[in-house]
Each structure stands twice: as structure tokens, then as C-alpha cells.
Amino acid sequence: MGLSPDPGFAHNKHSAKPDCELYHPGLTNYASSPTIAAVASAEDGPDEIGMCLEDGESWTTYLRFPELSDLGKEVRLRSLQTGSVEVEGAGVRLSVSLMELRPGIGSARLLVPPTVASYSVAPRGVWPSSISQAPWKGTVRGLNPRGTVFRIRRGEWVRLKDDSAVELGEELRIVAESLNAPPESCSPKQTGEVSHNRLNWRMWRIVLPVECNLALERWAEGIRVVVLEPTWKLSILSIPQAFASPSRVPIFGVRETLIAKLQSPQPGAQTSLSLNVGASGQKVAVGALSGTTAFVSFTVAWPGANHFEVSDRTTGWFETEPKATIAELRKSLGTVPILKVIIGNSVAETWKAPLEIPALDGVNEPPNIEIVPALEDLRLSLHWEGSSGGGYEEGLTRESLKNRLLRFWGKDVEVRISAGALGWLGLLFRSPKRRGIELTNKRVLRWASIAAGSEPGSNGAWMLRRASVTDLKCLRVAQGKNRSRWTALAINHLKGPKG
């Protein structure tokens, strides 16, 4: 029976020949067809805790936590300060605050040391009763000392699940015990070592070869991945109108012309493309004629879930639904709060021209300032520029911003207030001097135009007006309420001595 420990196999491992009558192809970790059950599955689900890799000047591993869903009207952001998620493993205990998991943040990241042992994840502290703790409770598997595979997904290196598929020619990252280097056919480039719990770990940057070999096959089996032939890649280039939650599947409008891009494994390749809409589907032949890229346009006439099949491989999931009307869009936008600053009877609104704030007359107090929306956790940024310089502050509360604005009253200062997604607006504070000059601009220009034309005579009133254009003292006399007392003196001064 040869030297094989398996009594049902009549050859030594990896030494059988196809021309032998007893030869049967084994279920190895290499498949020439992409239609096998193994799929490329990474730990990047919207509701799962996944391990990722930071590949920079020095590498490190970290856990990525899903964000909280909508808090609803009953939960305040302040109530998240008393809760956290704790991670224990590899002899260390770390935690991340619920504030770092608040809605809209995307996901939180917590650096963890590499270890073979599992990481235990558990909620800690006081959580709002309406928030389920289930997604942040459980264990996260450790690293495989033979090798753990990371693939680039949405801009970060994400760990692949066991028995996932990788493709020949694909670029990957491998973290393994320092003695377990990838095969030379992967052109491994090693980085520095990280030591923890008496184990030395190293990260390699690799590119799988374009053809499979025995060493690659054995290595893939040890790190629990399946090596596939390169396949066509499909991506939808059109911009979705929304994303389904929590699957992140893009949503497009019905009867909208969509564009898909197909990347072939080699120039001139041919494949079949099928668009499945509900229970029906249509198949067409696609080829990359002169390069490795092909484009197709298509429309879907009905709402529902859809997907593509490229060479009988399911990919490109998306949904369609009726496009929102203008009235529906306006109604939706009307429910979104926007930033407003109400000063007395004047209102400064986002995306509009800056509101001019005149100087006070020296008797009245500054009018009341109101900032809306009146959200408890609203934080604002302030940028100002004036004759004496400018500055910038962020993280201001509504009350703090009011106090800052009071300082600008009576000065020539241009202000910009930002509330992030709620918008930004501008204010123009004016000084008394500038406002007084602006009020006389039309009168001065009228006098100047008269002076530039034919001289209407040399009477005192005309002379005083003409001189007011260039003489500040005469301007003050001309503007004074009780100017009759000084008019004669000013006119005599302008006429000068006789002779």
C-alpha cells in the first residue's frame, strides 16, 4: 500500500500520477474553477467584531467594533459616557468607550497585541436600557501561528475567515510566527518583529504566484485558505441613492441606466454575464477585446433584490426601488435640522449670504442671541477675521458661542460658524465708525459728482459741501445737527484772506 498512512490510498502523498489506474484527484487547497463552495469572506460584516492590520512603518493588529444603531429620541449622547466595551486576552485588558461607538462614527478601533489565544469581549459599565449589548459580547479568535491572511477591504487590511478563497496573483498580508515564512514563490517581503507572551510575530507583504505549485498548496492548507484561479471582478460604477442597512448593499432607482465595470484576469478573456432580477435573469456574453476591462449598461424596471452572475459565480448584489419625487425629497430634507443664529429680529441661516450686524448706538444693550437647533450635545466651531487678526475655536457649546459673539459687537469682524452636517453660516459685525461713513456714502458721492462738473456758484452752502468731500472737519460741520453756529466760520475759513 506504499508509505501513505491512509489505507485507502495506494500512493505516497503528492506523488500520485494521473496515468495510474488507481489515481483519483484529491480535494486539495487549490481549485482551477471558481465555482467551488469556498468564497472570499472577510471579517467586515456591519454587525461583527473583526480583526484588522495596520501596515505602516511598523505594523500592528487591532479590533474593529461596529457602531451603535440609531439611539432614538430617548437616549442622550451623555448617557453613553458611563458604558464601555472591554477586551481581555493575551494577558492584557483594554476598553473602548461607548462614545467612540456613537452613530455616524463608522466603527471604533482598538489596538491589541498579537496572540494565539482568543480575545474575550464584554460590555462594561452602565448602558442605556434601550441598546442591545449582544453585538459587543463574545469572543474573537486569535492568530494562527502558521499564518493569518489579511485582504484589503474598504481601505483597510481585514482578516479572512477560515476556509475563505484567495486568488492566484492577489496581493495579501500575512501575520505569522517569525519562523513560518510564506513560500518563496509568493515573493515575501518581511517587516519587523513584534514580541508578545514569548512568541515573536512577523508580518509579510506577499503576492501570490500566477500559477499554483506544491509548496503553495501545502502552505495554503496550513493557513486554511483555498487558492483559486483568477476570476472576473465586477463593480457597479453608478452612484447609489442609498445603502440598505445593515447589509450595506447599494440601492438604485428603477428604470435608471446603470453602468457596471468588469475586470478580466487577462487581456482578451471571454465570460458570460447574467443579471438576475428576482426570479428572472438574462445572460449575455462579455469580452475584454483589447485590454482587461469591459463595461456594460443596464436598467432594472422593478423594485427588489438583484445580483449578477459572472461565469456562474454570484456577485454584485444591489437593490432597486422607485426614485423619490421632488416633493418627497423636500419633505425628507425638511425634517433635517439646520443651523440658525437668531439675533434680535434678524435670522442668519445656513448656505445664505452673511448677516450684517450693525453697531449699537451706545444706549441699547446687545439683543438676545438664540442658536438653534437647541440640541444638548451640539458642538460648534468658530472662525473669525478682523482688523486686529483672526482665530479659530472648535467644540464650543451654544452658550460658549454666544459669549464669543458678544465680544465682536462694535468691531469690524467677519465670522463663520459651523455645525458640521447641520451647515455653516456667516456674520458681519460692523463698527460705529464704519457704519457712519457708509450712511453718508451716497451724499458724498453726489457732492463729488457735482464738484467734478460745472461750478454752480460760490455761495456758502455749495462751498461747504464741496469742501466736505476732502476735508474731514468740514464734513463734520456739514453733518452736524446744529451746524448753523459753525457754518459761517467754516465758509470764511475756506474763502481765506482777501487780497
Question: At 103, which amino acid appears?
Answer: P
Which of 189, 205, 228 corresponds to the end of one domain?
A: 228
**Whether pLDDT at 4 is above 60:** no
**Whether pLDDT at 225 is above 60:** yes
The verdict on residue 58 lying in a domain is: yes
Set of cell numbers at residue 84 = 464601555
- pLDDT average, residue stretch 221-246: 88
**Whether pLDDT at 186 is above 70:** yes
Q: Are 58 and 193 in the same domain?
A: yes
- pLDDT average, residue stretch 143-158: 93
**Residue 243: phi, psi to the nearest 5?**
-125, 135
Q: Are 267 and 382 in the same domain?
A: no
pLDDT of residue 473: 58
Q: Are 447 and 309 in the same domain?
A: no
Q: Is 78 exposed, middle or buried (0-12, 13-18, 19+ CB in 10 A)?
A: exposed
- pLDDT average, residue stretch 343-367: 86
Cβ-proximal residues to 310 (8 Å cutoff; 6+ apart), any chain? 231, 232, 234, 262, 271, 272, 273, 274, 316
Q: Are 106 and 71 in the same domain?
A: yes
Q: Is 195 exposed, middle or buried (0-12, 13-18, 19+ CB in 10 A)?
A: exposed
- pLDDT average, residue stretch 56-66: 91
Identify any residues that bridge with 416 across adjacent strands, giving them in sequence order.
383, 426
DSSP 450: H
- pLDDT average, residue stretch 56-73: 86
Q: Are 241 and 180 in the same domain?
A: no
Confidence of residue 464 (pLDDT cuts 50, 70, 90): low
Q: Are 379 and 298 in the same domain?
A: no
- pLDDT average, residue stretch 444-456: 49
Q: Are 86 and 142 in the same domain?
A: yes
**Whether pLDDT at 443 is above 60:** no
**Whether pLDDT at 499 is above 70:** no
* CATH number of the domain bearing residue 240: 2.60.40.1930
Q: Are 397 and 364 in the same domain?
A: yes
**Residue 462: phi, psi to the nearest 5?**
-65, -45
- pLDDT average, residue stretch 102-124: 90
Confidence of residue 232 (pLDDT cuts 50, 70, 90): confident
State percent of the chain over pLDDT 70.
76
Q: Are 104 and 242 in the same domain?
A: no
Which of 178, 203, 228 corresponds to the end of one domain?
A: 228
pLDDT of residue 497: 57
pLDDT of residue 418: 94
pLDDT of residue 293: 84
Q: How far apart are CA 157 and CA 172, in angstroms?
A: 9
The verdict on residue 148 lying in a domain is: yes
Q: What is the largest CA-CA distance in the chain?
A: 141
**Residue 490: phi, psi to the nearest 5?**
-65, -40
pLDDT of residue 11: 40
CA dist list (Å): 9 to 19, 27, 213, 392: 15, 13, 22, 76
pLDDT of residue 463: 56
Q: Is 1 exposed, middle or buried (0-12, 13-18, 19+ CB in 10 A)?
A: exposed
pLDDT of residue 365: 81
Which of 403, 431, 459 corresponds to the end of one domain?
A: 431
Q: How far apart are CA 64 and CA 212, in angstroms?
A: 33
pLDDT of residue 190: 93
The verdict on residue 271 lying in a domain is: yes
The verdict on residue 6 lying in a domain is: no
For the chain, the average pLDDT equals 80
Q: How many CA atoms lie within 13 A of 331 on its CB side?
A: 5
Q: Are 215 and 103 in the same domain?
A: yes
**Whether pLDDT at 202 is above 90:** yes
For residues 406 and 384, the answer to whether their CB atoms sit within 8 Å is: no
Q: What residues make up the domain containing 446? A: 440-495
pLDDT of residue 290: 58
Higher pLDDT, 272 or 98: 98
Minimum mean pLDDT range among 5-19, 72-86, 234-248: 5-19
The verdict on residue 25 lying in a domain is: no
In the chain, the number of structural domains is: 4
Confidence of residue 59 (pLDDT cuts 50, 70, 90): very high
The verdict on residue 328 lying in a domain is: no
Set of cell numbers at residue 40 = 472570499
Minimum mean pLDDT range among 32-41, 141-150, 282-291: 32-41
Residue keyed to cell 457597479:
236
Residues shown for the chain = 499
The verdict on residue 332 lying in a domain is: no
pLDDT of residue 437: 46
- pLDDT average, residue stretch 381-398: 92
Q: Are 374 and 421 in the same domain?
A: yes
Q: How far apart are CA 335 and CA 326, in angstroms?
A: 15
Q: How far apart are CA 415 and CA 424, in angstroms?
A: 11
Q: Kindly provide the b/e burial profile for residues 138-155, where b requires at least 16 CB atoms within 10 angstroms of the residue's own CB.
A: eebebbbbebbbbbebee
Q: Are 272 and 387 in the same domain?
A: no
The verdict on residue 30 lying in a domain is: no
**Whether pLDDT at 127 is above 80:** yes
